[in-house]
Amino acid sequence: MWRWQYVSSRQLDGFRQYKYNAVDTSPLSVYIMQPIWNKIIKIVPLWVAPNVLTFSGFVMILVNYFLISSYDWDYTASGTSPGLVPTWVWLFSAFTTFCAYALDSIDGKHARRTQSSTPLGELFDHGLDSWATSIFVLSFFSVCSRDNGKSGISVYTMYIYLSIVLFNFMCSHWEKYNTGVLFLPWGYDISQVVLIAAYLVTGSVGVEVWHKPLVFGFYITDALVILLVGFSLFLSFPQTLYNIYRAHLKKTLKNNSLYEGLLPLVSPLLLFMLLTVWVALSPVDILAKQPRLFLWMVGVAFSNVICKVIICQMSSTQPELFHWFLFPLALVVYAAISGLLGWMEEAVLAVFTVLVTAAHVHYGVCVGRQLSEHLNIYIFSLKKRVQE
């Protein structure tokens, strides 16, 4: 069951040739956070495998998400005064978010420190990041709360907000697929600091702070959404296009044709088109009925799609034109919007979400096992495998 061969022999050979190449120009990262990480890394024992740090951070993100979900399943708990989520939960959220941020920032440093940097470590890191990106956002929505007519944000705004964040993540790896260089996005460090600050403020003064308008009737949550959209459309995406254009001028692009360069975008864009059709045309208004379940499914499906792009980028191979998730999703969307599902639409969403999540976990475990055996290493240990 756990030995499915998701990675082709050609891709495995490509991983052998892979070299990590990244550029970090974020002032927040370079001048403030990196000195902090350089101090924290010194307390990590040398016998700890870097992937243990990576996975520990991801587990903390999951624990925080499910804890918040237990108090606020439908994103309404923060819409009352006082909020229904205990203060200690918000403070715990700040703690786990900082720890996950720190562990994600020092795992690569620790790998170089222990001379254990491998393509598997980078794939493990970025693969979990592709999933954690959505979980961070879904947890933060509990701070904002769902629109109650006076404050909060609508579930449709949540969907758009999540889509933009995932679009930014996709662009970073699409950029690397074409240039061979990962230009670390400025938004990552900024978003983590904002998240931690938001949790601390909520834990300190209560959710009421998010219910008070700032200026001209705008709430803090409105300002955050505007900043996100502006940052994405007018900074991150143009920077991605500029970096690809520079690589084209220098003749260092990894892909010579326009088709090859745009290929990684096809499945993610089709994925969001299908999901948006479901949101817009659902007879039962599925996003309003089950926002947490639907948005979780969006994040998991995106993560699996982008993981395949990351594998192709690291192994210098072409991704498939249509990800297999698109076909069952298209069937479910058609059955939903045509009215075939009727009152069963929510139940089908729940079953589909469970299956997508299980498939993604299976994919991650099998890919990790396959690469660890190919590279003759263990995922969570610095020991070398004994050749059979």
Q: Which residues are within 8 A (CB) of 122 and not within 5 positions of it... i.e. 6 or more apart?
A: 20, 108, 314
Helix axis angle for 291-315 and 345-374, nearest 10°, is 30
Summarize the confidence of residues 298-313 as an average pLDDT.
96
Q: What confidence tens digit (pLDDT) does each residue in 164-209 have?
A: 999 999 999 999 999 999 988 888 898 899 899 999 999 998 888 8
Judged by average pLDDT, the poorest of 98-112, 220-234, 360-374 is 220-234
Least Cα distance to 165 among 23, 308, 303, 57 occurs for 303
pTM of the model: 0.94
Instruction: Give the model's pLDDT for residue 81.
Output: 63
8 vs 234, residue with greater confidence: 8
| pLDDT of 220 higher than 80 | no
Summarize the confidence of residues 52-58 as an average pLDDT.
97
Helix and strand numbers (H, E) in the chain are 15, 2
Judged by average pLDDT, the poorest of 226-230, 263-267, 269-273, 280-284 is 226-230
Q: Report the C-alpha gap between 302 and 304 in whole angstroms.
A: 5
Q: Report the C-alpha gap between 344 and 347 in whole angstroms.
A: 5
Q: Which residues are within 8 A (CB) of 216 and not within 5 positions of it... i.e. 6 or more apart?
A: none
Burial class (CB in 10 A: 0-12, 13-18, 19+), 207: buried
